[in-house]
Chains A and B, each alone.
Chain A
Amino acid sequence: MNLANLLRHISLKHVKLQRTYMLLAVSGICLGVAAMVSIDIVNKSVLQSFAESIDHITGRAALEITGAESGFPEELLERVQNVPGVEYAVPVIEASANLSGGSERAFMILGVDVLQDYKIRSYSLNDETTDIPDPLLFLAKKDSILLSQTMAKQEGIVIDQEIEVQTVQGIKKFKVRGLLNPKGPAKVAGGDIAIMDIFAAQAAFGNAGSIDRIDVSFLPGEKLDTMEARIRKVLPEGYSLDTPTGRTRQVAILLDRFQKSMRFIGFMVMFVGMYLIYNAVSISMVQRRKEIGILRALGAKGGEIIALLFAETCVISAVASVVGIGIGLGFAKLSVGIVAQSITDMYLKTSVTALTFSWTILFRDAAFGILASLIAAAYPAVSGVRSSPISMILPLAPTVNGFKLSRKLMAVSVLLLFLSSVILAAYGMAASDSAIRTTGAIFASALLLIIGISLLTPAFFYRSLLIFRHFLAPWLGAGGRLACINLQKNVSRNGVAVAAIFFSIALYVCSANAMHSLRVSMFDWIDSIIRADILISSGNPLVVGGAQSIPMPESLAKEIEKIPGLQSVEPFRKSSLDYGGRKIMLEIFDVALRMDYCPGMFAEGSKEEVVQLVPGQDNIMVNEGFAARYHIKRGDTLVLPTPDGPVRFGVAAIVVSYTSDSGIIWMDINTYRRLWRDTLVDCYEVRVKEKKDIPAVRQAILDRLGKNRHLFALPALEFRNEIKKIMESSFLITHAVNIIVLIIAGFGIVITQLASVLERTREIGVLRAIGMKKNQVAGVVIIESALIGTVGGFLGAAAGLLLGWIELEGFFRLDYGASIAYHIHYASVAWAIVLSAGLAALAGFYPARRAARINIVEALTNE
């Protein structure tokens, strides 16, 4: 009741009469919530789209049996079928394909048992299909294919038309026998899907006699647990048995790191937003000091005032959160494509067609925004109300910097910094499997560092001002000295603005340096592993990462070798297998040959040992991430599933590889072909005798082999450029967030300077009266802003350099498992400092204009 009165009669007036100010205060939380919402919604949408496509594809199946990616023998099907309680067990092949010519559209081919599959999956053929195809006819003709209506319409394909599709065997012709309504599997991947008979699909896209998956449905009344147990009994080790939701979960695990880092970015934005709210509340405490004093004198209790300020913050941040949700949904719409592309490039093919709307996310993020605002408001509100009413009514003494410059605060900040460095030192010295080497420890240290420096900003700012006043101000004339004096008047408030700039610049420098180091390491690594001159692939120019290619037959090697001027042709196969519940990437190549001309990068072990131990034998190499996750050292053994059951492998070396963050295994191609009986090849790496022949050889390859299949023959240089493009696009979100953070910090300066201009209206009036020009007044304000920015920039650059290293350690070494050398990007550091000063000066423009426009007479007459 009371509170409602105060809110209605006092807070509302502030909103009505001080709009600009409110707007700025709101924008921080607004952008913070927007960033969180957009990131959460995009994350959720990505997972949801996977879940949905898995749902559509699995249909009624309650369990799925999968083996290694390259399939398993068909005879297993019969065994599963005979398990009591099993209703149907149907085989499935999933392959990727491209239309040849035209849009080169990539799509998924689902090879199913035409006679049985409708029992598990629902297909609905387009009504326009005049004669519903006879399954037997469909079976009899190996070139039969069903397309989704969506895709057919977009490509202008009609029934009975012949289409050309790239397959393992090269370009083949298929006849469209029917169009599928967008229902069931036909909805998957936005309709980029076609159905074929399983045998035809085997022939065209994989190994005859092996299947990718068995989908199993139960008789009514059978329990999942008992069925799982029964089926597992008949399966050899190494096969995974999972529910469709389980498969979604696997995708979630795969994308876990990516999504975590995105969430972390969103959180960072929120954190800067908190600075802004803190700034706004503490400034409003200064401005409303007298108002609060009057209210207290008239009989408002301290608790009531605090409640009022909290309620205000609550309402304002709630409004900001709602607006932020709106903006966030907009951001999500804009960024979902970029994110999906990043995931496709780095993990697995994604096509997110719609945003998943989730009230839980919206409420959670809004609540987080409000909570963050309340936390930010707590200190200024409580400490502001604690002083006695009379002292609040009296005009503020000019240098009340009290707490912010107090010894106590300095001590706390120094303590935090000390703790942070202790953790870092302990981390640096600890053994690799010690308890302290965790992401938690490294981030605790980062957080302590950030908070420690934030608390230190007022003191640091004060010292910097002294230096400025001494050495630089004389060059700037009266304006410079005045700016310095003004800033010194309220070090605590300006300190918060400095802190906001510090934080955003730190974030910028940190990510710039981390990205730079990643780039450098990545290229070093690519150089170390890819020494070929031309990379030949099909379906997709890039075979690393999650990109899906259309494999080529082994026989193609012979044909390539016929081209003159070649030194060597080396096959590369990419696959994956299930290990410890994770999808681990399997990279297969001719180890002996590769080691002959590539330096390789070994974390443990050596080239010589590898050449001795790996080729043709049951020994493998694993990357650092894999080794760290499963605590594997050189010389250990591990069991991997193969189509013929589990096989024990020895680990010959730990290598550096960045292609996947869930773990990478390198295997010799001879071993792989022996155990998996898979002779397909994803990429041929070709070396040319004379470097100058590269363009000619490339042309010759395309001319000779590109006729009956669509080939990509990328010179290594272009390959590197493609990789670079992928990396840059994955940094896009980070860049966007950096910009948002900088904008918020800029708002912080606008708020601070606006408040400071308002506060010294009278003083500016006096200065104008005794002959200061408008430009001079504005100049002083801009110099002040630039000073705030520069100090923040220096602090931020210093902290950012350290944080960049911490990020590499925390995110990449520990979580990703890749050791990445830290490379300082000096240009970004210099740029950050220039940027902070420039941005701050820019933010000062509006307050400066306000200052210049102050009416002299009014300023002098007002109390």
Chain B
Amino acid sequence: MSIKYAILGILAERDLHGYELKTNFDDKVGEFWSLNFGQIYSTLDRLEKDGLVTHDRQAQDKRPDRKIFSITKKGRIILTQWLSTPISKVRALRDEFFIKLVFMDKDNPAAVLDLIEKQKMLHLKHMNRLTRRKVALKSKICNRDTLPTELLLDAGLFHAEADIKWLTLCETKIKTEIKRKE
């Protein structure tokens, strides 16, 4: 899975301890992908086993020592390799909504249309949220590189738009079907 590569990517920038790693992850891709600490630590363990990541101990005043993780040479090679390979697997259509469509009541299209409408509104609201984040991101003056985040937001917007367009098409086709039957 690509959590592994995400962690490698973050560590490639600089060395971090576990908590920092989590916030950094959320900052970059949190909108689409939420992880808990458990997942992060188990992944780090696996990476260490494979020799892609190592750690140093850092002493703290009152608390136990902190592990500072860093990427190894082998880890960097693996990461570069991954980054330069395109994804061959196309997004699969196994949306929950699609399942609902399959099992919809053929004699009561009005309910389906209603569902579609509601779904569209949800998508729109989602898009609105994403847009507002994007606007905020653009207007915020910060020296951090926000481009990847922005691109991610765009991806979300385009996917939502595609869904809305698809839903609209569903709506139209169902309606014509109803008309044809009458």
Q: Do chains A and B touch in the complex (CB under 8 A)?
A: no
